[in-house]
Chains A and B, each alone.
Chain A
Amino acid sequence: MPARTAKSNHAVALEAFDLTKRYGDRTAVDTLTLQIRRGEIFGLLGPNGAGKTTTILMMLGLTEPSSGTARVDGLDPRRDPLAVKRRVGYLPDDVGFYDDLTARDNLEYTARLNRLAEADAKERIEFLMDQVGLSSVIDRRVRTFSRGMRQRLGLADALIKRPSILILDEPTVNIDPEGVRELLRFVSDLRDLEGMTVLLSSHLLHQVEQVCDRIGIFVSGRLAGIGTVAELARKLQESWVFEIGVDPGPEAAALTDRIRTIEGVRYFEPDGPARWTINTTRDVHTELLHAVAEAGCTIAHFVRRGADLDAIYHRYFTGSTDDGDRRIPA
């Protein structure tokens, strides 16, 4: 298996092979194997603390993997860190700038670190600031910038080096919906017009699903699922999610016992007093409604969620996180 080298495969921009990172006895990333193709937007989706940032840092050679390898354009970030950092633009989670310097000064520093010639740098900075809509504040100190402006500045900063690969860590956090839309349109333009490969991480599937060519669902350091949104949904054909709520009362308690006995119920979780989310392997809505009637409860709401994207997310994330104690096994 290790004989397979990424270098021969130029269609692959980013690759992880058995990538593992342990901090003490906690495993942040667990034998991650993943290929990101050139020119695609790949979404690394997972709850906070799933190991997304750690994975990104290992790809960039900014943190040492405990075992396994990462490859960027076939290069090993541990052995060739500068070549890797040369071609990867990185927008960190919660990006920071030198507050006392102007936006232009901050970007000039990045340009110098990337050895851009002075005239080229000046032109490029003004061009990119225009692209992200910050031309008017280019000579203002970053101290005065809002969160959304910093995010745009961070994008310009990541693009200064003319990267072929762009890594964005939680780029949509804390910016308004319009800002998210603009950012994602910008990113898809980069792919369409530049052939740029983009890896973006997020914990909000619905925000990034339209723009991602493929998605990897990342939970507790493991890849729980990978593919296009449609593929992920197909895998979940056999998974149904129902939400049910009844008026609270002594009958409500009896209802849980009845639900438990319905065939096909995998597990269910209480969402509140007399409210549950029920995960099943088949469509059991008639049985559920019968059970409510037999228990003598009054129904307050009932939703059959089916296998939509929320279900994917719900299934994968709640299926393997640590709050399993809330779950009632069927």
Chain B
Amino acid sequence: MTATVVSQPETRSREPEATPRLRGGWRIVARKEFADHIHSVRFIILVVLVALAGLASVHSASGPIRDAAGAATDVPSIFLYLFTLAPERVPAFHEFLATLGPLLGIAFGFDAVNGERSQRTLPRLVAQPIHRDEVINGKFVAGLGAIALALAAVMAVVVSYGMLRLGVGPTTSDAVRMVAFFAVAIVYVALWLALATVLSVLTRRAATAALASIAVWLVFTLFGGLIAGLVADTVHPVHSAATTEEVLANARLELNVRRISPSQLYQEATGVLLNPSRQTTGLVVEDTTSQALPSTLSLSESLVLAWWQVSALVGGVVVLFAVAYASFMRQEVRA
């Protein structure tokens, strides 16, 4: 270090336009974080993992579709069955996403804030001319961008493979439904991103935040159904001589308890969006099916059915992000 002159004399003339252009700091943060995400090993691993799962499910679904396609020429939206059919015990693609989506969300959020703390970069970062909330906003936007890119890549792989296998492409209406599915999937994954971000603000270590997020995910996926069943059986016990009403009450309660889980909301919404002949997100008893018209719903009708599930998911994202935002703003820089 032999400083003789520290400023470069030729470029000192910035004073006149010094103050005005200080907006949009969150974009600078988002750009850096997004670049970090997509260059990270975890991004590649997750895209490959989800794409492989998608290929497996589409592959197993395409077999029966090919067999049946010749016989059922007037079945609408054959292409979409690629995402919803689940023969041979391989879950359908949208079910796979219900399970793997949370991992994707958690991966891009669990070290958002505590990572800055453990690398001790936070004081330096917030001492730059940006508002403090631009740090967390930018990071969240970058996480959303990484998720959207990952899901888009997976969708592209899966759809191309499906087209190869079936020899037909999606119709326009299929394509629109896939876009709707894509949007709901992003919201669903964003919910987990927001949860992981909250935990990254509240915990000191990234590993703790990751484990806590995964614990929440496990509770919902593994024990969600179990707990819902227990609650339903306690409130509305079903005996051997139970009436239809009692059985129905039990099943309804169980479904409603399950709906606390984001994955249930996601599956109901995407189930309707990907399957035009599905006419309810609720219980399907033999009776309703036989009464249901053998027709298909338009996209807007499907959207109406999925509306409140999607709203609930969006609401969840907003609430969780608000919690992360508020706690980050109240924290000391040095904590």
Contacts and interface: CB of A to CB of B under 8 A. Distances in A.
A309 to B, nearest CB: 26
A95 B120 contact: yes
A97 B119 contact: yes
A291 B33 CA distance: 71
A123 B123 CA distance: 25
Nearest to A167: B127
Given A82-B130, A132-B1, A194-B7, A162 B12 contact: yes
Contacts of A81: 131
B329 to A, nearest CB: 11
Interface stretch (A5-13, A38-46, A57-65): A57-65
B32 A109 contact: yes
Nearest to A124: B8
A85 B129 contact: yes
- 7 tightest CB-CB pairs across the interface, nearest first? A96-B120, A113-B128, A92-B123, A90-B127, A182-B1, A85-B129, A189-B3
Given A63-B334, A124-B11, 9 more contacts: A62-B123, A81-B131, A82-B22, A97-B124, A99-B119, A113-B128, A114-B129, A131-B3, A190-B3
A267 B241 CA distance: 92
Interface stretch (B13-21, B51-59, B179-187): B13-21
B332 interface: yes
B234 interface: no
B25 A113 contact: yes
A296 interface: no
A77 B28 CA distance: 22
B176 interface: no
B243 interface: no
A78 to B, nearest CB: 12
B21 A115 contact: yes
Nearest to A62: B333
Contacts of B22: 82, 86, 115
Contacts of A190: 3, 6
B127 A62 contact: yes
Contact of A63 (B7, B129, B333): B333
A285 to B, nearest CB: 45
B4 interface: yes
Interface string B107-127: 000000000000111011111
B55 to A, nearest CB: 31
B18 to A, nearest CB: 7
B8 A123 contact: yes
A275 interface: no
A185 B3 contact: yes
Nearest to B21: A115
Chain A interface residue count: which class? 35 or more
Contacts of B126: 62
Nearest to A127: B8
Given A98-B121, A157-B124, A194-B7, A53 B1 contact: no
Interface of A: 53, 57, 60, 62-63, 81-83, 85-86, 88, 90, 92, 94-100, 109-110, 112-115, 120, 123-124, 127-128, 131-133, 152, 154, 157, 159, 161-162, 182-183, 185-186, 189-190, 193-194
A57 B334 contact: yes
A161 to B, nearest CB: 8
B2 interface: yes
Given A109-B32, A162-B12, A193 B5 contact: yes
A189 B5 CA distance: 8
Nearest to B117: A96
A186 B3 contact: yes
Interface string B9-52: 00110100011011001001101100010000000000000000
A20 to B, nearest CB: 16
Contacts of B131: 81-82
Contacts of A159: 6
Contacts of A90: 123-124, 127
Nearest to B120: A96
A94 B120 contact: yes
A110 B128 contact: yes
Contacts of A96: 119-121, 124
Contacts of A57: 123, 333-334
Contacts of A63: 332-334
A61 to B, nearest CB: 9
Contacts of B32: 109, 112
Nearest to B1: A182
Interface in B80-128: 119-121, 123-128
Contact of B127 (A60, A182, A185): A60
B47 to A, nearest CB: 19
Interface string B314-328: 000000000000000
